[in-house]
């Protein structure tokens, strides 16, 4: 039996590559940038398995060009880059990598909370620029994280891990989500409130919803104007949840105090974007899950999802298997 053909759209951890190569004929895009769209469309023509990154758009056009495709495996927990309904209509299961990146991403969210509240990046810039001539009683005053109210938008795996970290800082934690999460409330002593209350009460608002049509620009001018002028907004979810123009005005005009973003709209954010000129805005290049151990775990999980799909079995971590029914319904 010839091995099925697979396309991997970026260099992934060698352990994951080896695992896929045991069972498939692999085409890997090895350049240090996402596959150009035309190249991707050209190369999917003969593949049965597609191993994607969040920078690859899997839509009707791509699926049209991939008549043999039997599985899409995304090396990310979020799958807003994939038209899942279009895959489902074609009977194609979509895999993702939940859980293995939860604590790593929560660590980064907390790093951003601390970096913004205590103005760490401004401090580093100040020292590097040679401005540090003496200690000063009012140099780079920030906000206390301990004892502050943390507002969480979208209570899922990563949000709960952030709330756990907040316990160590003696924070009061409120959340807004579509559902009541009784078990997490009981375990972590957190409380569900409506969005309006969350915005008004949070000293730090941390965003953890997926990007969906419902959450697109969920935080815009109206919401930012409801927040405290001393509030800090942290986004480690997806850039599209926050309206960047409204955020710029909020930071520039003092509706809120600070923003710390691991994700932006668009990505990458252009170097001349106005948000990057603001001293009260920290932007990272989408590195929430970027540790050696976690990227290896993600790569291996995506490999197992891909291989299960090629075997016609339910993916261990599947976005749409319940909708697909048949052998995928588990």
Chain residues binding ligand NAP by CB under 6 A are 77-78, 98, 101-102, 105, 154-159, 177-179, 208-211, 214-215, 236-238, 262-263, 286, 288-289
Q: CA–CA separation, 121 vs 326, rounded Å? A: 52
Query: Nearest approach, Cβ of 330 to ligand NAP (angstroms)?
Result: 19
Determine whether 286 is an active site residue. Answer: yes
Angle, CA of 277, 278 and 281, to the nearest 5°: 120
CB of 159 or CB of 302, closer to ligand NAP:
159
Nearer to ligand NAP, 170 or 266 (CB): 266
CB of 61: closest distance to ligand NAP in angstroms? 23
Nearer to ligand NAP, 66 or 224 (CB): 224
Say how far apart CA 195 and CA 180 lie, in whole Å: 13
Cα 166–167–173 angle (5° rounding)? 65
Of 267, 277, 311, 330, the active-site residue reads 267
| Cβ proximity of 278 and 258 under 8 Å | no
Catalytic annotation present for 70: no
Q: Which CB, 133 or 178, lies closer to ligand NAP? A: 178
CB of 100 to ligand NAP, least distance (A): 10
Which phi and psi (to 5°) does residue 42 adopt?
Answer: -70, -45
The two tokens of residue 43 are: 């190369």
Q: Which one, 155 or 173, has the nearer CB to ligand NAP?
A: 155
Catalytic residue check, 267: yes
CB-based closest residue to ligand NAP: 156
User: Catalytic pick from 119, 192, 238, 317?
Assistant: 238
Residue that has been written with the tokens 């319904």 in this structure: 329
Nearer to ligand NAP, 49 or 151 (CB): 151
Sequence-ordered list of residues with C-beta below 8 angstroms from that of 313, at least 6 positions apart, any chain = 327
Identify the residue whose tokens are 């690859």.
56
Q: Is the dihedral of CA 53, 208, 169, 103 positive or negative?
A: negative
8 Å CB contact between 281 and 275: yes
Minimum distance from residue 159 beta carbon to ligand NAP (Å)? 6
The three-state DSSP-derived secondary structure of 181-217 is CHHHHHHHCCEECCHHHHHHHCCEEEECCCCCCCCCC
- Find the shortest distance in angstroms from Cβ 154 to ligand NAP: 3
- Whole-number Å distance between alpha carbons of 214 and 29: 33
- Given the residues 19, 70, 208, 286, select the one marked as catalytic: 286
CB of 294 to ligand NAP, least distance (A): 9
| Residues annotated as catalytic (active site), given as ranges | 238, 267, 286
């Amino acid at each position: 039996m010839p091995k099925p053909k697979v396309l991997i759209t970026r260099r992934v951890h060698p352990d994951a590559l080896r695992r896929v190569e045991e069972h498939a004929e692999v085409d890997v895009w090895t350049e240090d940038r996402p596959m150009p769209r035309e190249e991707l469309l050209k190369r999917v023509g003969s593949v049965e398995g597609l191993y994607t990154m969040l920078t690859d758009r899997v839509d009707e056009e791509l699926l049209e060009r991939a008549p043999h495709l039997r599985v899409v495996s995304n090396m990310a927990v979020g799958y807003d880059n994939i038209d899942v309904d279009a895959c489902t209509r074609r009977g194609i299961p979509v895999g993702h990598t939940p859980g293995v990146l939860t604590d790593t991403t929560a660590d980064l969210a907390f790093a951003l909370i601390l970096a913004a509240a205590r103005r760490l990046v401004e401090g580093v810039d100040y020292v590097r620029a040679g401005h540090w001539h003496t200690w000063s009683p009012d140099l780079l005053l920030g906000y206390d994280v301990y004892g502050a109210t943390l507002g969480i938008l979208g209570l899922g795996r990563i949000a709960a891990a952030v709330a756990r970290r907040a316990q160590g800082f003696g924070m009061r934690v409120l959340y807004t989500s579509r559902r009541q999460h009784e078990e997490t409330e009981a375990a972590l002593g957190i409380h569900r409130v409506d969005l309006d209350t969350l915005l008004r009460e949070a000293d730090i608002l941390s965003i953890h919803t997926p990007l969906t049509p419902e959450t697109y620009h969920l935080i815009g001018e109206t919401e930012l104007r409801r927040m405290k002028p001393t509030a800090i907004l942290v986004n480690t979810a997806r850039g599209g949840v926050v309206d960047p123009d409204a955020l710029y005005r909020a930071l520039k005009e003092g509706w809120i105090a600070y923003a710390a973003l691991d994700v932006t709209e668009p990505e990458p954010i252009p170097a001349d974007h106005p948000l990057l000129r603001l001293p009260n805005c920290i932007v990272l290049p989408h590195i929430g899950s970027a540790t050696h151990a976690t990227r290896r775990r993600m790569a291996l999980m995506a490999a197992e999802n891909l291989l299960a799909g090629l075997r016609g079995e339910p993916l261990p971590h599947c976005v749409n298997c319940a909708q697909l029914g048949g052998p995928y319904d588990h």
